[in-house]
């Protein structure tokens, strides 16, 4: 029994697929931005913190990195319902990805902190900068430069993880494909189409990361 390929139906759905892709990309951008902000104190806490600060920082990092992202999404979407807290699909996915990104980025930044000469922190403090100012103006600019490629890879990971939101009703790129597939039964065509779109988006991120990489270093995407 032969299969009748109909890629024309994908072209008809292309506007909806593009809107879904835009939602996926916007969620990835926002959750990465929030993740970076959260990851900086987590990285410092796990790298140089003591007592409760170090314990909480390391616990967050370990939970984020050693539990499935889907389980994290389900926790915020279904689990919080047990306490009377009901989140929309996009909010549950957003919070879960912020949590996940922060954990991975904190570990990336911790490695970057190891590459910064300790004397620079001492020099910053001798110039009158407090701990926050020293990290903000002296240490973390170097950390970002040293870990730029890894941050780009984490962005791709976040973008691909947005697809898990389709399992709780998020109408992102994967959600649109699942909706059309359920109505047209054209599984191969729609999932091939979104695979191509995800691939293009990932390669675009790699290109931009390479294009704007600090320090002039360039690597092929």
Confidence band of 221 (pLDDT split at 50, 70, 90): very low
Distances (CA, A) of 150 to 11, 21, 146, 187: 35, 23, 9, 34
Superfamily of domain 8-216: MetI-like (1.10.3720.10)
pLDDT of residue 216: 45
Residue 12 vs residue 125, higher pLDDT: 12
Average pLDDT over residues 162-173: 97
- Express each pLDDT in 39-90 by its tens digit: 999 999 998 878 899 999 999 999 999 999 999 999 999 999 999 999 999 9
pTM of the model: 0.89
Residue 46 CB neighbours (<10 A): 23
**Which of 47-61, 131-145, 151-165 is modeled with the greatest confidence?**
151-165
User: What 3-state DSSP class applies to 177?
Assistant: helix
Please enumerate, as own/partner, the contacts of 184-192 that have beta carbons within 8 Å and a separation of 24 or more: 184/9, 186/6, 186/9, 186/10, 188/3, 188/5, 189/5, 189/6, 189/7, 189/9, 189/10, 190/10, 190/13
For 171-189, what is each residue's pLDDT tens digit? 999 999 999 999 999 999 9
162-167 contacts at long range (C-beta below 8 A, 24 or more positions apart): 162/23, 162/24, 162/27, 162/28, 162/93, 162/97, 163/24, 163/198, 164/69, 164/70, 164/73, 164/93, 165/27, 165/73, 165/89, 165/90, 165/92, 165/93, 167/70, 167/73
């Amino acid at each position: 029994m032969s299969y009748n390929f109909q890629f024309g139906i994908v072209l008809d759905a292309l506007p909806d697929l593009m809107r879904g892709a835009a939602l996926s990309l916007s969620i990835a951008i926002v959750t990465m931005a929030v993740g970076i902000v959260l990851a900086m104190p987590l990285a410092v806490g796990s790298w140089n913190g003591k007592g409760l600060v170090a314990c909480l920082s390391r616990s967050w990092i370990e939970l984020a990195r050693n539990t499935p992202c889907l389980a994290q999404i389900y926790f915020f979407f279904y689990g919080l319902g047990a306490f009377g807290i009901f989140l929309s699909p996009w909010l549950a996915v957003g919070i879960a990805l912020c949590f996940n990104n922060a954990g991975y980025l904190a570990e990336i930044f911790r490695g970057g902190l190891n590459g910064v000469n300790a004397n620079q922190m001492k020099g910053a403090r001798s110039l009158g900068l407090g701990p926050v100012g020293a990290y903000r103006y002296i240490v973390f600019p170097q950390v970002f430069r040293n870990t730029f490629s890894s941050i780009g890879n984490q962005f791709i990971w976040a973008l691909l993880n947005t697809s898990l939101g389709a399992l709780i009703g998020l109408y992102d790129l994967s959600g649109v494909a699942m909706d059309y597939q359920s109505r047209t039964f054209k599984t191969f065509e729609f999932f091939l189409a979104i695979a191509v779109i995800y691939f293009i988006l990932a390669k675009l991120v790699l290109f931009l990361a390479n294009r704007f990489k600090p320090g002039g270093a360039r690597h092929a995407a």
